[in-house]
């Protein structure tokens, strides 16, 4: 029995994992593309810079899994923000800054295409609106427009 478990365990580690498509959900924007995963990651980074925002963080398990002998679909989280928005939001709500950077999520589908998803900044900052008031609502709206512009540029 132990031998069977070991064989199954090793097989599962070696077998590629299948990708699941990100489904639309409350507060999210989800855009399927015909682009490859690598191309969409590059295009999100380029669109971020073109829209006066900065890539603050990047993380994903794909390369680390490959170094362990595992094959998984491309998966990258790209944290985006800029100091101008950070300083203004911090002045309105110290607690709200836990949400920065706001993230884009690039995932690879089994057919080789990629999906771009993100939580809308107004959704992310909604829990802090009582504290930050109309000024925070306005900044979140400006960030919505900026994230929409980045997304549209990246997927086209």
| Tokens (6 digits) for 17 | 């994992």
Residues 68 and 65: their CA atoms lie apart, in Å, by 5
Domain assignment of residue 46, given as a range? 2-155
User: Which has the closest alpha carbon to 120: 19, 55, 21, 24?
Assistant: 24
Q: What is the pLDDT along the chain (156 residues), one digit of tens a residue?
A: 455 343 333 334 444 444 567 888 999 999 999 999 999 999 999 999 999 999 999 999 998 999 999 999 999 999 999 999 999 999 999 999 999 999 999 999 999 999 999 999 999 999 999 999 999 999 999 999 999 999 999 999
Count how many domains the chain has: 1
CATH code, domain with 55: 3.30.310.70
CA–CA distance from 156 to each of 35, 104, 131, 150 (Å)? Answer: 9, 16, 37, 10
Angle 27-124-48 from CA coordinates, rounded to 5°:
95
**Predicted TM-score of the model (pTM):** 0.86
């Amino acid at each position: 029995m132990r031998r069977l478990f070991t064989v199954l365990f090793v097989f599962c580690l070696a077998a590629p994992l299948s990708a699941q498509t990100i489904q639309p959900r409350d507060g999210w924007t989800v855009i399927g593309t015909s682009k490859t995963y690598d191309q969409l990651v590059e295009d999100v980074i380029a669109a971020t810079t073109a829209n006066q925002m900065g890539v603050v963080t990047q993380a994903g398990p794909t390369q680390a899994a490959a170094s362990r002998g595992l094959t998984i679909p491309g998966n990258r989280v790209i944290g985006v923000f800029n100091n101008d928005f950070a300083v203004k939001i911090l002045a309105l709500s110290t607690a709200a800054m836990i949400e920065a950077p706001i993230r884009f999520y690039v995932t690879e589908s089994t057919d080789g295409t990629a999906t771009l998803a993100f939580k809308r900044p107004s959704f992310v900052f909604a829990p802090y609106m009582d504290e930050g008031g109309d000024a925070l609502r306005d900044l979140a709206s400006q960030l919505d427009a900026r994230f929409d512009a980045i997304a549209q540029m990246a997927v086209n």
